[in-house]
Chains A and B, each alone.
Chain A
Amino acid sequence: MESDKIIAMEDQYRDYLSDESGMTGTAGSISFPESEDELRSIFLTMKQGGTPVTIQGGRTGIVGGAVPDGGHIINMSRLNKLHKLEFTDSGAALLEADPGITRLELTEGIQKLKGGHALFWPPDPTEPSASLGGIIASGAQGISTGLYGRTEEHIEAVRIMDSEGNFRTVQRDDTDFGAVYFGSEGRYGIITKVRLRLRKKPDSMWGIAFFFEQKADSYQFADMLKEKFGTGKNSSPKSVDAEIHASIAVCEYIDRVSIDLVEERKPYMTKIRSIPDIDSEAAAMIYTEIHGSDEEAVSEIAEELLEISVSCGSDPDKAWAVSGETEIDKMRSFRHAVPESINLLMEKRRKRVPGLLKQGSDMSFPQMGFKELLNLYEKDLQDQQEMQESGLQWTIFGHIRENHLHINFLPETQEQYDLGNELITSWAERCRKVSGAVIYEHGMGKIRKPLFVNTADRPVLEEMRQRKQKYDPAGLLNKGNSIDD
């Protein structure tokens, strides 16, 4: 019945063989289902022939999770509608959405819903073309979890189609949700609908950028922020109206190499073009956001931050401060332009050396100071003779509060790439020892799978094996994303 929906792989669909990591796979056919029924019948047709399927969202992942390993591609981009927005008796605002909707479409769609203009969905993994299903499957967190909580706290339920083609709804509080479906990269089922929990937008938002001529000063500032404002986490409220007085929502570190990469691209990126060049003396910047229901309280925190920054050697006349959604969006776009520019640079380098994939770390070291963590990284990056000899370049940016930094290598040769991998592996080893998260929010996909398998505890791996056996014994779902594929 749906055979006409299944399109043989042709040259014009070659984009769908890769994702943002730069990895390219193979596939025999592709489909773009527009309803759950279509999705089901396509899947069952494939299942009948024993053909594995790869579920794709926005293909913005950086570990090859959406890259097909043969078989059929089910691209979810046409399952991208928003459905009803409901206000429950307990005051929650729940919105049903298709998994193929992008972060951008979601944000804009919410504004246009009746009663939606004052609401938002807090998780912001910064890439606007990431899909909702992909965010859930990779366990993406983004930059404001410190205040609003983790992504899973903003999901009420997901509807899953299992490997038999049956549908069921999994609530957030069901054990299956966190254990099986959230962040499991499509290994155990296909997300076909999502019920989101929305929040009221904060009345006041300030975005502040501090600049430091000495990197060490910025580390000190970061540690003082953590000490003073803690994790600041506002536990997930049941009511949409629950107000936050004023709190730090975002706290991001961006090093000079990252700034330079963005500035090279800036004139040609409309959304950040109007941001002036950053003082060439700045060795690092720290971007913070303060959100709250009370403008006065927000500006009080801003004053406190200003004082702390001065005590850490930041020039108070140079700090930027913006407010309002549009300006904040612009600053977030700047922050997002960091990984974006890195990916674009790597695309260019890959033209010459095909093996050079996106090479970024995704580890969180919760039990450590920020300065301590940076010193640890820098010791390896700057002091090691091997690094000095190879000339491998790197950038550092990421989330201060979770001690979750993305070290991105910028290799130009295969040798440099291999060296980068060695370093990431050694950090993963250390991360595991201090009970950190080796893979925090990007997923392991196909590229980081070996790293995960090598550092994970045996019982964890065993559990994953058993789960795969239980939910997808034929191994048809997202082949290549499971540990034994």
Chain B
Amino acid sequence: MSGDASKLSILVYFEYHHRRLHPVGLQLMTAAKELIRNNGGEILGIIIGEGADQAEEQMNQLPLSEVYLYESEEYFKSDLYKTLMLDCIQQSSPGIVLIGGTKEGRSLAPRLSAALKTGLTADCTELYVRDGGELVQIRPAFGGNLMAQIITPDTRPQMATLRYNQFPPLKPSVSEAGRRKPVSFIKRKLSTQPSSLLEIIDTARFTASESIGKQDVLVAAGRGVRSKEDLDMIIELAELIGGELASTRRLVEQGWISFHRQIGLSGHSVRPKLLLTIGVSGSVQFMAGIRGAETIIAINSDEDAPIFSAADHAYCGDLYEIVPALISTLKKQNT
């Protein structure tokens, strides 16, 4: 048990497969650390999976007080993982449970919340905590035009999934860890080993469909790009930020880019979380396809370009100066 009842305790679910932590765990840590910054509290972790105890070393570098380890099956099964997670919550009675807004998290969290008969707020982009440990959860609503502020007044724990890649990852730190109380690891084994009604009979590596209509990050090139060869740097930038290349109708007409990648009235309507447009002026044809984009960053040399009226971040300048410099800056940041 986690001691002082008045102290805020937050349970973070670390996805763990193939003996690796999913990056969303460290993103949840950033959010959790922020929540206890002012009024204090503790962060607990849970790992379910095959070889769970092998995560100890990495966990040791994080500001966690306790980590529950459940040696289990390699692959995610909603019913089994729920049972184990439920055990952990009964053991640790956290005030808040944070789960990643990943496919796994969004499959696990609702099942768990119904089992606990408690509230769940999906896909939060901002969290803060009030005195008394009440969690304020903010998430986009109505296609992202509006934000909803949601609380869970009466039931505990308060559960939230956090949008993937919304929070920066917390950097594990050996030196900081040295100054903290060491993480205590609790290896749980249930008296009757729970089983699943699901059987995973095969798994395969798989790359999500590259259709630009389904991508979270898109980099769209427009007629500001002067030659087909120049697209290479746009592609490099797209790869650097985990995005897919998209294009205006113009470049498709030029024959430089396949029409599979065309955004607009006669192409795809896209709904990425981030759309970076480079040398795109923003014709009616194009603009009709980008309304679902959450954040738009536009680089264009014409200050009157219509794209700027839709952009959240607008940069008027020469793409041939900006893009190469940006690529090298991002590369430096990454090393």
Contacts and interface: CB of A to CB of B under 8 A. Distances in A.
Do A and B pair up? The answer is yes
Interface of A: 12, 14-15, 32, 58, 77, 102, 104-105, 128-129, 265, 268-271, 337, 340, 344, 347-348, 351
B262 A268 contact: yes
Given A104-B284, A344-B259, A128 B223 contact: no
Contacts of A105: 284
A14 B223 CA distance: 10
Contacts of B281: 12
B302 interface: yes
B301 A12 contact: yes
B327 interface: no
Interface of B: 213, 223-224, 250, 253, 255, 259-260, 262, 265-269, 281, 283-285, 288-289, 301-302, 304, 306
A270 B269 contact: yes
A442 B213 CA distance: 33
A104 B259 contact: no
Contacts of B250: 15
Contacts of A347: 253
Nearest to B262: A268
A270 B212 CA distance: 11
In this complex, which of B255, B284, B288, B302 has the most chain A Cβ atoms within 10 angstroms of its Cβ?
B284
A57 B149 CA distance: 44
A131 to B, nearest CB: 9
B266 A269 contact: yes
Nearest to A103: B284
A12 B223 contact: yes
B302 A128 contact: no
Contacts of B284: 58, 77, 102, 104-105, 128-129
B240 to A, nearest CB: 26
B301 to A, nearest CB: 7
Contacts of A128: 265, 284, 288
Contacts of B269: 270-271
The 7 closest A-B pairs by CB, nearest first: A270-B269, A129-B284, A270-B268, A102-B284, A347-B253, A340-B266, A268-B260
B267 A268 contact: yes
A347 B250 CA distance: 11
In this complex, which of B224, B265, B283 has the most chain A Cβ atoms within 10 angstroms of its Cβ?
B265
Please classify the interface of chain B as helix (H, G, I), strand (E, B), loop, or mixed, using the class held by over half of its residues: loop
Contacts of B285: 129
A391 B250 CA distance: 30
Contact of B265 (A15, A129, A348): A129
A14 B266 CA distance: 20
A39 to B, nearest CB: 16
A75 B285 CA distance: 16
Contact of B266 (A15, A77, A344, A348): A344
A12 B302 CA distance: 9
A14 B304 CA distance: 16
B304 A32 contact: yes
Contacts of B223: 12, 14-15
B293 to A, nearest CB: 13
A102 B282 CA distance: 14
B6 to A, nearest CB: 51
A12 B225 CA distance: 10
In this complex, which of A58, A270, A348 has the most chain B Cβ atoms within 10 angstroms of its Cβ?
A270
11 contacts: A12-B301, A12-B302, A15-B223, A15-B250, A105-B284, A129-B288, A265-B266, A268-B259, A269-B267, A270-B269, A340-B266
In this complex, which of A77, A265, A271 has the most chain B Cβ atoms within 10 angstroms of its Cβ?
A271
Contacts of A344: 259, 266
Given A15-B250, A129-B265, A344-B259, A270 B302 contact: no
A340 B260 CA distance: 16
A94 to B, nearest CB: 25
Contacts of B253: 347
Contact of B213 (A102, A129, A270): A270
A12 B224 contact: yes
Nearest to B248: A15
Contacts of A58: 284
Nearest to A344: B266
A340 B249 CA distance: 12
Contacts of A12: 223-224, 281, 301-302
Given A268-B268, A270-B269, 11 more contacts: A12-B301, A12-B302, A15-B283, A32-B304, A77-B284, A129-B285, A129-B288, A269-B268, A270-B267, A344-B266, A351-B255
A470 to B, nearest CB: 35
Nearest to A350: B253
A268 B284 CA distance: 18
A344 B288 CA distance: 18
A269 B285 CA distance: 12
A12 B262 CA distance: 19
A258 B319 CA distance: 40
Nearest to B271: A270
